[in-house]
Amino acid sequence: MKIAVLGTGMVGQALGTKLLELGHEVRMGSRTKDNEKAIEWTKQNPERASQGDFKEAAAFGDLIINANHGDGAIDALTQAGVENLNEKVLIDVSNPLVFTPDTPPSLFVCNTDSLGERIQKAFPQVKVVKSLNTVSAQIMVNPGLLPEDSNIFLCGNDEKAKDEAKKLLIDFGWKNINDLGDITGSRAMEMYLILWIRLMGQFQSPNFNIKIVK
Ligand SMILES: NC(=O)c1ccc[n+]([C@@H]2O[C@H](COP(=O)([O-])OP(=O)(O)OC[C@H]3O[C@@H](n4cnc5c(N)ncnc54)[C@H](OP(=O)(O)O)[C@@H]3O)[C@@H](O)[C@H]2O)c1
């Protein structure tokens, strides 16, 4: 499958590399055509990897992944162009985190709204599925790094889009996938980040996850 990964950070690189390993063709998108991180990633993965600006990447992908900084997510998708996004599945991995000195991190949208919902409202013809935002980049693509099976979440308004996202999650190694319903489930998935960051500080490591026990 042709997949666009919008974002050049550790998440974009981890997802892009894993998708290549799984046999997909991946184009990494960024704000400029000559993003150094994207060029370097393409050099390291000469087979089936390419890079370009958001528009070029989105035009290439049959499925899109948003792995941008939360604050820049809607701008990045706007640059990608609705004509290159419409009717496609968009897996949104971003978090609306705000880091300010001397105070615990916060979210720029929460409670009665979420970044996942804002993206869906801004691009109504796009099939937004929120997922993977609750674990570190390494765990996203290798849940087996943890000593026990743990849980990953997804939500979105389109059932077929969620099925497509689920297939990728299974290919990444996820066994326990909790569907939280429509895109308003993003509120829960994003607000969990406040606890996640607190735990990461205590563990001094991002490589942990939650396991649902009933
Ligand atoms: N790191 C993790 O383990 C992790 C885990 C779960 C979820 N997430 C979420 O996944 C997303 C990507 O995380 P990340 O750690 O890979 O990197 P990040 O530093 O949060 O985001 C970097 C990417 O965002 C792009 N970007 C686009 N518009 C931007 C803007 N206006 N301001 C700043 N950056 C902008 C950057 O572009 P340039 O290349 O042009 O700088 C870069 O490609 C974030 O939303 C994060 O919250 C991260």
Please enumerate in sequence order all residues whose Cβ is within 8 A of that of 75, keeping only pairs 6 or more positions apart, or say none: none
Residue located nearest, by CA, to atom 14 of ligand 1: 9
CA of 14, closest atom in ligand 1:
16
Which ranges of the chain does DSSP label H, i.e. alpha helix? 10-21, 36-44, 54-60, 73-80, 82-85, 115-122, 137-141, 159-172, 185-203
* Three-class DSSP category at 207: coil
Cβ–ligand 1 distance for 51 under 6 Å, the answer no
* Tally: H helices and E strands in the chain: 9, 10
CA of 77 to the centre of ligand 1 (A): 13
pLDDT per residue rounded down to tens, the chain (214 residues)? 999 999 999 999 999 999 999 999 999 999 999 999 999 999 999 889 999 999 999 999 999 999 999 999 999 999 999 999 999 999 999 999 999 999 999 999 999 999 999 999 999 999 999 999 999 999 999 999 999 999 999 999 999 999 999 999 999 999 999 999 999 999 999 999 999 999 999 999 999 999 999 9
State which of 37, 41, 65, 69 you would mutate to test the pocket of ligand 1, scoring each by most atoms of that ligand within 8 A of its C-beta: 69
Place of tokens 């969990």: 192
